[in-house]
Amino acid sequence: MRKLFFIASTLFFIFNFLRVYASPAYGTDTPDKGKISIGYQANLVFRQPLSSSHGNVRSYQHFVDLSYGALDWFTFDGKLGVGDIRQSGGNRPEINFGTGFAGGYGFRILLWNKPTDKTRVTVGFHHISVHPNDENVGGNLYETFLDDWQVDLLASKKFGKFEPFAGGMASIFDQGYRINHGDRTRMHSKYYGGVIAGCGFDIRKDVKLKVEGHFIDEDSLSAGLYYSY
C-alpha cells in the first residue's frame, strides 16, 4: 500500500506540475539496495516532429550514466554528458547547433519481480536537458535548448543472457528557441505518446549491454554499456 501511494502521488505531481517528454527508459533491471550501476549511453534522436509548421528536430547525446539502488524497489538514475540539436524543415532556417552540455535525472520503481519465471515490471520517470552552443546565421544570433522527459511503464522476461523489454510512455517534446536575445518560445512535439522496445544482454554477470528504440512520438535509438557493483 505504501508503494502504491508513493507511485500515485509522484505521477500526480509529474503530470500536473511538469511537462512529460520522451527519453531513454534504461530497461527493467534495477540495482539491488545499496548497489550501483555505471556506464556509457548514447541517445540518438533521428527525427522528432514538431507541431504546426516548426519542422523537425534531431539530437545526438552522449552520457555517463549512474544508477543507485536506494531501496530494493526504488532506483535513482542520473547522467552527465554532451549533446547537440539540429533543426530542419518548416518555417525556420536549417541550423546545426554546436555540441554543448547535456544532463538528466530520474527514478524507477520496481512494481513486479518474479525470479521463478524471470519477469519484471517497472514504472519510471526520466528527464534530459540539452544546451548546445549558440549559432550566428545570416547576422542573427540563434539560441536553443531542449527538454526531454518521459513517464513509462515497461515489462520484461529474461531468456538466458537476453532480457527483452517493451512498454508504452506518455510523451511531449519541447524545443526552446530565441533570436537575438528576444522573447523565448517553446515549440511542442506533434505526438503525445509512443512505444518502447529494447533488450538487455549479459556480457558477463556484472557487465550488460542495453539497446532500446522509441517509436510513434519520435524515431530514436539508445544504447549503453553498464558495469554493476
Residue 79 host element (H or E): strand 74-88
Mean pLDDT over all residues of the chain?
87
Q: Which residues, 6+ apart, have CB-to-CB distance to 123 below 8 Å?
A: 7, 11, 108, 109, 111, 151, 152, 153, 154
> What are the residue boundaries of the structural domains of the chain, listed by start?
20-228
Residue with cell 524507477: 108
User: H-helix or E-strand containing 9?
Assistant: helix 2-17
Cα radius of gyration (the chain): 18
Query: Which CATH code for domain 20-228?
Result: 2.40.160.20
Residue 228 in 3-state DSSP? strand
Give the 3-state secondary structure of residue 73: coil
Cell of 220: 530514436
pLDDT in tens, 11-59: 333 333 333 334 788 899 999 999 999 999 999 988 878 887 788 889 9
Give, as one character, the DSSP assignment of residue 90: T
pLDDT reading at 143 higher than 60: yes
Residue 75 has pLDDT above 80, yes or no: yes
CB-count burial class (<10 Å; 0-12, 13-18, 19+) for 53: exposed
CA-to-CA distance for 59 and 200, rounded, in angstroms? 23
